[in-house]
Amino acid sequence: MMKSRQNNERTDPKKGRTSAKSRTRSGKDLLADLNISASTGKVTQRPKPKTALPRVKTSAQEPKERKAAEPKVIFKKVDESNDGQRLDNFLLSQLKGVPKSLIYRVVRSGEVRVNKGRAHVDTRLQSGDEVRIPPIRYTEKESEHSAPPLKLSEMPPILFEDQNIMVVDKPAGMASHGGSGISYGLIERMRASRPELPFLELVHRLDRGTSGVLVLAKTRKALVRLHEMIREGEMHKAYQALVKGDWQNDRQHAKFPLFKYVTPSGERRVRVDPENGLPSHSIFRLKERFGPVSLVEVDLLTGRTHQIRVHAAELGFPLVGDEKYGDFAFNDEVAHGLLGVPFKRMFLHSGKICFHHPITGEELEIEAPLPKDCVELIEVLEQRKAQNK
């Protein structure tokens, strides 16, 4: 019976001719390929095992997957903390690590919209506004822009803090903010150290070499109000400075107009310029004479860049350690111990600030003590002065 079936398979025209390989195979091989039921005699072809093929992404699948990885348009509601903020500064806070130049270019292109309309970089946002932020494709690694958090040993003392403002004692040598060849300063590192704060901005600045009181705003409302106080002369700052020379007047006003410019090398400088300079007013008060140097206290009635440093130099009493406007040869001698102890920084310290709290109206007077290196120098100068009497 098995033989007749095999013959029928070879000659049945409906099934076609079998292959040469099938015609020459042994009966044992055929039985292995055929499944014959002993009870029914029915012959069925054993299914061939399925071979798992490697999964290949089709061209239709790839764009869909790429699209999911691409940045998307973001619609951001402006809350009270950003009320009154400029559009460019708002975008900088939302797009961490993106260069300001790229943000300006995107805004000018019209891709950024405020309440569905075009806007300028200086547009002031209001609470409740809706800002459309387009996808920003930026290839440079964000880590290159990210400031490292402050180590515990680097954290400046916090002189005052509540939910609206923070006042810190900035150390000399740390920039207030990044820029001019500095990747990041105190404000960027404070943000990295306090990631739970949604808003943290400088209210004013201190030069890199200046130590002392620095005010930060934790809300947009506080920042706007504090800036108004500065413009209206409602924030009073007092500095301590050590100057070269024997200061004579107990109290002296300096009202030299100051003009800010940039050198060909890109360095920011300020000079006295009666024609183009901005009105500037400093009041110097003598605290103590030490012969070759004098300790003075300075009240700022205006807050121009490098104001105390340029005014002091114009009066003929440059600041000790001032690398831009000082006496360089004298500074070098001071660094090597001319005054009794090596002193290698600029002696300018923001010692006190007075203003009304921007939200509560409470009168605040916040002081930062002289840094240790400044205290040690003053103590040595006082000892030498006492010995010379």
DSSP secondary structure string for all residues of 197-259: -S--EESS---TT-EEEEEEESSHHHHHHHHHHHHTT--EEEEEEEEES----SEEEE---EE
Q: Compute the C-alpha angle 231/217/212, nearest 5°.
A: 80
pLDDT by residue (tens digit) across 108-155? Answer: 888 999 999 999 888 889 889 999 999 887 655 443 457 889 998 999
The most confident of 75-79, 182-186, 301-305, 315-319, by mean pLDDT:
315-319
The verdict on 74 and 197 lying in the same domain is no
User: Which residue type sits at 331?
Assistant: N
The reply to whether 129 and 165 lie within a common domain is: no
What range defines the domain where residue 107 resides?
70-136
Does the pLDDT at position 17 exceed 60? Answer: no
Residues 78 and 176 in one domain: no
Q: What is the mean pLDDT of residues 2-7?
A: 45
Number of C-beta neighbours around residue 136 at 10 A? 16
Beta strand 211-217 pairing with 348-356: parallel
- Total number of domains constituting the chain: 2
Q: For residues 193 and 98, what is the distance between their CA atoms, to the nearest angstrom?
A: 20
Is the confidence at residue 5, as pLDDT, over 50? no
Q: What are phi and psi of 178, to 5 degrees?
A: -75, 160
* Final residue before a domain boundary, out of 136, 171, 192: 136
> Is residue 218 a contact partner of residue 163, using CB atoms and an 8 Å limit?
yes
Residue 34 has pLDDT above 90, yes or no: no
| pLDDT averaged over every residue in the chain | 84
Where are the extended beta strands (E) located within the chain? 34-36, 43-45, 74-77, 113-114, 117-118, 130-133, 158-161, 165-170, 201-202, 211-217, 236-244, 251-254, 258-262, 268-272, 282-289, 293-300, 348-356, 363-367
Band (266; pLDDT cuts 50, 70, 90): confident
> Which residue, 374, 272, 269, is CA-closest to 324?
269
Count helices and strands in the chain by DSSP H and E runs = 11, 18
Does residue 254 share a domain with residue 130? no
Residue 169 sits in the same domain as residue 109? no
* pLDDT value for 236: 95
221 belongs to a structural domain? yes
Given a contact cutoff of 8 angstroms between Cβ atoms, the answer to whether 256 and 315 are in contact is no
Residue 108 lies in a domain: yes
Catalytic residues: 207
Return d(Cα 100, Cα 290) in angstroms, integer: 48
Element at 384 (helix H, strand E): helix 372-387
Q: Are residues 123 and 250 in the same domain?
A: no
Please check whether residues 292 and 368 belong to one and the same domain.
yes
Residue 145 lies in a domain: no
Nearest alpha carbon to residue 279 among 304, 300, 261: 304
Domain-embedded: residue 146: no
For residue 188, the SS3 value is helix
Three-class secondary structure of residue 289 per DSSP: strand
**Tens digits of residue pLDDT in 330-383:** 999 999 999 999 999 999 999 999 999 999 999 999 999 999 999 999 999 999
Apex 142 CA angle, 140 and 144, nearest 5? 80
Between CA 375 and CA 382, with CA 381 as vertex, the angle to 5 degrees is 90
SS3 content of the chain, % helix, strand, coil (to 5): 25, 25, 50
Q: Are 172 and 78 members of one domain?
A: no
Predicted confidence at residue 89, as pLDDT, reads: 83
What pLDDT is stored for residue 81 in this prediction? 77
For residues 205 and 222, give the distance between their C-alpha atoms in angstroms, rounded to a whole number: 16
What pTM, to 2 d.p., does this model score?
Answer: 0.67
- Distance, in Å, from the CA atom of 142 to the CA atom of 139, rounded to the nearest integer, reads 9
114/215 same-domain check: no
- Using CA of residue 289, residue 290, residue 291, residue 295, what is the dihedral sign? negative
What token pair was written down for 338? 């001319």
Map residue 12 onto helix, strand or coil.
Answer: coil
**Could you read off the pLDDT of 307-345 as tens digits, one per residue?**
999 999 999 999 999 999 999 999 999 999 999 999 999
Residue 233: which CATH number? 3.30.2350.10
Burial class, 14, CB count within 10 angstroms (exposed 0-12 / middle 13-18 / buried 19+): exposed
What pLDDT is recorded for position 284?
98
Report yes or no on 166 lying in a domain: yes
Q: What's the pLDDT score for residue 106?
A: 87
6 band by pLDDT with thresholds 50, 70 and 90: very low
Using left for φ > 0, alpha for ψ between -120 and 50, and beta otherwise, residue 340 falls in left
* Top-confidence residue, 44 or 228: 228
Rounded to whole angstroms, the Cα distance separating 342 from 328 reads 15
Q: Determine contact, residues 114/125, Cβ cutoff 8 Å.
A: yes
| pLDDT score recorded for residue 47 | 54
Calpha distance 107→99 (Å, rounded): 13
State the helix-helix crossing angle for 87-94 and 100-108, rounded to 10 degrees.
120
Claim to verify: residue 210 and residue 104 sit in the same structural domain: no
What is the pLDDT confidence band of residue 282, given thresholds at 50, 70 and 90? very high
Percentage of the chain surpassing pLDDT 70?
79
126 lies in the same domain as 183: no
Same domain, 232 and 378: yes
* 35, part of any domain: no
Please give the torsion angle defined by the CA atoms of residues 360, 361, 363 and 368, in that order, rounded to the nearest 10 degrees.
60
By mean pLDDT, which of 6-20, 131-145, 204-218 is the weakest?
Answer: 6-20
